Structure 1
């Protein structure tokens, strides 16, 4: 699959001028956004993966086969960054979500081992209010045993008041869930195309 880095943006002025539909990846710091994008694209190092939470400080844009753009957003909720820094990232994320007409859906990523945080709830609420479709994923599936998997998914679903089917388990290391996430992305993009007809 052809995929290439376009640009990094620190503000709205740095967003690329394109009319291609965009899928944004969002979640708490260190939840595995970059790893998920690499796994979906079958690449190892297209998106830089950091060991330090809060490493992605800019919005990164990637052209996928000249058909659509994947957008890697900075993680939210990393406590060790300064309040001013967190505020700046928050504004950057919000400006992107509000201003970007090309945005068709957000892949919201939650760590399968954690109950969704207040920041996750706020993000889901904000996206829902702004009618941005959410593809809900639970990453790091390889970190829990097969026996525990359903229990973890149920806890996340219950916390978010959604059905267990709405939570897509994912493992970047094992490439589990790649097809399911792609199916959801394709479904959203297909729906957008039909709306334009």
Structure 2
């Protein structure tokens, strides 16, 4: 699963990377808040009686991204769904911040403990020498990786933020990728998606009038 390339902490090699690290570390408090929300939200809400659905597994309904297979939804907000979304993977681009991407991935039936999953993400990260982890934090039900990726050629320095949590027998990953100069704004919209990610189909669905 190639959600994030990252490399264990070592001296960062360029002034630009050092600057990005300093900026990102200022945001540690925001990451901690998000992590706490994950721990509280990952077990919240049971997928009750949903509506019957014979169409695509993922649709945009009245401003909500709706996954009918894994039975979750979240407001589209400042994002736009791109490509052909699949039941286990959706990619969204920010509507006003070029180069900002949000990916939502589900790993069904993943029984690996969260700590082991975080180690696996770090091992995968080691394959890319251009990516450096700034921070990794864990709680019982949530893990967060914050990293920077050095630009290649004309590509800008990028900040990568991956959040992983368990729900039932599945693992969920939310990954933000943003140019360093857009990260702070993009991070707020990323937080908004996670805050409003719901698994409850028992009640009146918000896209129904």
Larger Rg: 2
Q: In proportion to residue count, which structure has more strand? A: 2
> More relative contact order in 1 or in 2 (CA 8 Å, sep 6+)?
2
TM-score normalized with structure 2 length: 0.28
TM-score normalized with structure 1 length: 0.29
